[in-house]
Structure 1
Amino acid sequence: MDIIDTHCHVIAEDRGRYPRAPIGGKTSTWAASRPVTAEGMVAGMDESGIQQSVLVQATTAYGYDNSYVLDSRAASPDRFIAVGTFDPLAPDAPARLASAIAEQGLAGVRLFTSGSTVPTQGEWFAAPESYKFWRAAGELGVTVCLQMRLGPATRQLVDVLERFPTVRVLLDHFGYPDIADSPARAGKEVAELATHPGLHLKLTHRSLEPLHAVGEEAIEFLSPVVESFGAERIAWGSNCPAAEQSLTELVELARAVLAPLPPAAQEQIFAGTARRLYPSLGGYGS
């Protein structure tokens, strides 16, 4: 099966060339304790059967300095594309976005509004000052990864999706739905967002682990989400090495949870959606 990892992070050994500047003021635990270099990521991909990966900027290590993901992509263009962290509130955001895509080589950008080093959910991604960025992203056809938590900022997300319906938004980690408490309720809450055609979902271990833990109840979450969004709007990502498991284990986790879905749906989640969101990945085998 064609497998693309839409969410993995790389950390350089050379701190002089790639200094740490984490958002939130401190490096995340995983980036400090189990970093993986670009070379190490390729080795893991080979072992696990992953053809290509989307290197998502390790925001909790490098902040807005996307140098390492860009250099890693340049060194292995057949295996990697790069998504960099971006500031949509910058006065010159539209021009900077155009330059980041056309000149620097980013395939997409990421807005980091909440995470391990930023525990309070930010609402700034939907502020009026961000509108020029969102408009430019739609005009340029740029996929915007959004790291946020549903619930605290769902209203802001919906506002963006309604104002800018042509923008492709890829919601990191499904927005951290509370699957453990009630798979059915969490699935219904996520499914309700499918009315916004620009919204896509990134399925990582953050949701796969609780889905695996609830066993047969996982289908109560998966069924409404897949039926409403379609597998064509869901993409798998490992979240390696923020996830403690190896890439091989993370692939197997995804296979196990998604096993009840038809093979055609699994193919979309493992690769088809990624290739549409990021055309620079090319076609299978290219």
Structure 2
Amino acid sequence: MDIIDTHCHIISGDLAKYPRAPLGGKQSSWAATRPVDADGIAARMAEAGIAQAVLVQATTAYGYDNSYVLDSRARRPDRFLAVGTVDPLRLDAAEHLTAATGEGGLSGVRLFTSGSTVPTQGEWFAAPESYPFWERASELGVTVCLQMRLGPATAQLVALLDRFPAARILLDHLGYPAVAESPADAGAEVAKLAVHPNLHLKLTHRTLEPLHAAGKEAGAFLDPVLASFGANRIAWGSNLPAAEQSLPELVTLAQEVLAEVPESEQREIFAGTARRLYPGLSG
């Protein structure tokens, strides 16, 4: 089966050329203890049988400096696309987005509003000051990955989806639904967001691990999410090396959780959706 990894991170060992400038002022533990560079990711992809991957900016290592993902994309345009982190609140955010995603630039952007080094969920991604950014993203058709947690900022996400129905948003890690607490409740929480056709889901180990642990109860989450969103709005990503497993193990994890999903839908999750979100990926 064709597999595209829509979410892996790279960190260079060359601190002089690519100095660390983590968002929030603190590196995540994985970035400090088990970094993988572009060559390492390429080797792991070969081992796992993955032809192409989307390099998502390691925000907790480089902040808004997207140099390394862009340089790595330029070195292997047949293997990689680059998604970088941007600041939607800067005064020239719209113009900056246009320049950043121009020829040879980013294929998508990421807003890091909550994470290991930013424990408090930010609401700034939906502030009025961000509207010029969202308007331009809509005009350009750029996929915007949104790293956030459902619950603390769901209302802001819904307001944004309503205000900018043409903005293509990809929710990193499905917004961290509380699958371990209740697969059924978590599935209902995510499924109700499907009424917004511009919202897509990124399925990673953050959700797959608790689903695997849930066993037969995983269907209480997967069934309503797949029924409401459709596989054509869900894309798989490894989250390597933030995920501690090897890339083949992460692929196996996803395949095991999705084993009961029809093969045609699996093809969408593992590759088809990615190609629509990022047209630069070769078919």
Name the TM tier (shorter chain): over 0.9
> Secondary structure, in 3 states, of the residue corresponding to 2:102?
helix
In structure 2, the CA distance between the partners of 1:56 and 1:74, relative to structure 1 (3 Å rule), is same
Per-residue displacement from partner, 1:145-183 (whole Å, max 9, x unpaired)? 000000000000001000000111000000000000100
Which stretches of structure 1, 4 residues or more, deviate above 6 A after TM superposition? none
One-letter identity of the residue aligned with 2:126:
A
What is the correspondence of 1:98-117 to structure 2 with a 5 Å cutoff? 98-117=98-117
Q: What's the counterpart of residue 164 of structure 1?
A: 164
Q: Root-mean-square deviation (CA), in Å?
A: 0.5
1:51 CA drift (Å): 1.1
- TM-score calculated relative to the size of structure 1: 0.98
Matched with 1:260 is 260
Alignment of 1:1-286 (within 5 A): 1-283=1-283
Provide the secondary structure at the position in 1 that maps to 2:7: strand
Aligned counterparts of 2:217 and 2:236: Cα–Cα separation in 1: 20
Equivalent-residue separation in structure 2 for 1:164 and 1:91 (angstroms): 19
- Describe the superposition over 1:33-63 as per-residue Cα deviations: whole angstroms up to 9, x where unpaired: 0000100000000000111000000000000
SS in 2 for 1:89: coil
- Could you tell me how far apart the structure 2 residues matched to 1:29 and 1:258 are? 29
Identity over aligned pairs, percent: 73
Kindly provide the CA deviation profile for residues 207-231 of structure 1, in whole angstroms up to 9, marking residues without a partner as x: 0000000101001100000000000
Output the CA distance in 2 between the equivalents of 1:96 and 1:223: 40
Q: 2 CA distance for matches of 1:103 and 1:14?
A: 26
SS of the aligned residue for 1:281 comes to coil
1:128-148 deviation line (CA, Å, top 9, x unaligned): 000010010000000000000
State how many pairs are aligned: 283
Measure, in 2, the Cα distance between the counterparts of 1:50 and 1:182.
Answer: 32
Structure 1 residue 103 displacement after superposition: 4.2
User: CA 1:97/1:104 → structure 2, altered by over 3 Å: closer, same or farther?
Assistant: farther
Shift in Å at residue 105 of structure 1?
Answer: 1.1
In structure 2, give the amino acid aligned to 1:59.
T
**Partner SS, residue 82 of structure 1:** strand
Q: Which runs of 5+ in 2 are unaligned?
A: none
Task: Classify the secondary structure of the residue corresponding to 1:280.
Answer: coil
Offset at 1:104?
5.0
CA contact (8 A) 2:74 2:104 kept: no
Measured in 1, the distance between the counterparts of 2:114 and 2:221 equals 24
Q: Deviations over 1:234-279 (max 9, x none)?
A: 0000000000000010000000001010000000000000000000
Distance 1:162 1:41 in 2: 37
Point out where structure 1 has 5 or more consecutive residues left out of the alignment: none
TM-score of the pair, normalised by structure 2: 0.99
The structural deviation recorded for 1:282 is 2.1
**In structure 2, distance between residues paired with 1:45 and 1:103:** 26
Could you tell me how far apart the structure 2 residues matched to 1:281 and 1:209 are? 27
Helix, strand or coil at the partner of 1:122: coil
Q: Which moved more, 1:184-193 or 1:94-103?
A: 94-103
